[in-house]
Amino acid sequence: MERTLRKERIGVVVSNKMDKTIVVAVKRKEMHPMYGKFVNKTTKFVAEDANNQCDEGDTVRIMETRPLSKTKCWRLVEIVEKVK
């Protein structure tokens, strides 16, 4: 049996205060249903960072995984860009 493709998202780390855990904000543009203007929407994901290697402001790629805790069901794949 083949495993289905897992969702991936690219976002910015907004918090790394927890141990082995980061919070990643993913931005997207959505068209307003009535006015037709594009509105920025943000979703926060709690992700596993096993080596505590991320800092706030880093751009990262995260992947969906099995539930690791009550809120954590994403894990860090790679750091796309380190903050300067």
Q: 9-25 pLDDT, tens per residue? A: 999 999 999 999 999 99
Residue 13, phi-psi category: left (phi > 0), alpha (psi -120 to 50), beta (remainder): beta
> Which residue matches tokens 């960072």?
49
Average pLDDT over every residue of 37-63: 97
What's residue 1's pLDDT?
A: 77
The residue extents of the domains of the chain are 8-81
How is domain 8-81 classified at the CATH fold level? OB fold (Dihydrolipoamide Acetyltransferase, E2P) (2.40.50)
Pairing of β 74-81 and β 21-31: unpaired
Backbone φ, ψ for residue 42 (5° rounding): -125, 135
- Comparison of pLDDT for 40 and 83, the residue scoring more: 40
pTM flag (> 0.85)? yes
